[in-house]
Amino acid sequence: MAIVSVVDRSTVRFVADAPEVDFEVVAPATPVHIEVEATRKNLDGAITRRAPHADADARTVRFEVDLANPGRSIPTDTTAEIAIEVGDPLTVSALPLDAAKVANGKATLFVVENDVAHARTVKQIAETGGTLYVDPALAPGTTVVTEGRALLVDGDHVAPAIDRAATNDLVKP
């Protein structure tokens, strides 16, 4: 029975599983961004190795990222979030999620022009956290209704108040 274990922390290995349809996305040498939960450190690396097959039950592909840890600042057995950029960059407009009703890939919202609310429907591109990303047909700087939207009808007169804090938090195209 072991009474002591020794762990070499000079290199840490992050192990993750991706859906099997992303087999090519998790190819060795693919750049990754890692946020370590325990320390909130943001690290960049590359996939070191990938399993040659998918797990038969889970239909996922295991991949690993090895990173140097010279200061031993990353603890063992910690959780991390791994992000991999895929596809071509998209130009989008960002707005608070609560500014729209989202269904079937479309975002229905109200824009304000000359103190009049107008209903608009734009293509939804993505959603993450409290931010909705839509087709750039909704131009940057457009005033959108975030509170009281459910009470409006197209053409209603409104007295908008700009929420500067929400505006500064949005990602600009």
pLDDT digits (tens, 9 = 90+) for 120-142: 999 999 998 889 999 999 988 88
160, 100: one domain: yes
Question: How far is residue 147's CA from residue 157's CA, in Å, rounded to a whole number?
Answer: 14
Domain that holds residue 69: 11-83
**pTM of the predicted model as reported, rounded to 2 decimal places:** 0.59
Mean pLDDT for all residues in the chain = 90
The answer to whether residues 79 and 104 belong to one domain is: no
The stretch 57-65 carries a mean pLDDT of 96
Looking at the domain assignment, is residue 3 inside a domain? no
Residues 73-97: tens digit of each pLDDT = 998 889 999 999 988 888 999 999 9
For residue 2, is it within any domain? Answer: no
Claim to verify: residue 62 and residue 28 sit in the same structural domain: yes
pLDDT at res. 124: 95
Sheet containing 60-68, strands listed edge to edge, beginning at the edge strand earlier in sequence: 11-19, 60-68, 49-50
Per the structure, the count of domains in the chain is: 2
Using alpha carbons only, what angle is made at residue 22 by residues 28 and 96, rounded to the nearest 5 degrees?
115
Instruction: Single out the residue in 33, 48, 83 at which a domain terminates.
Output: 83
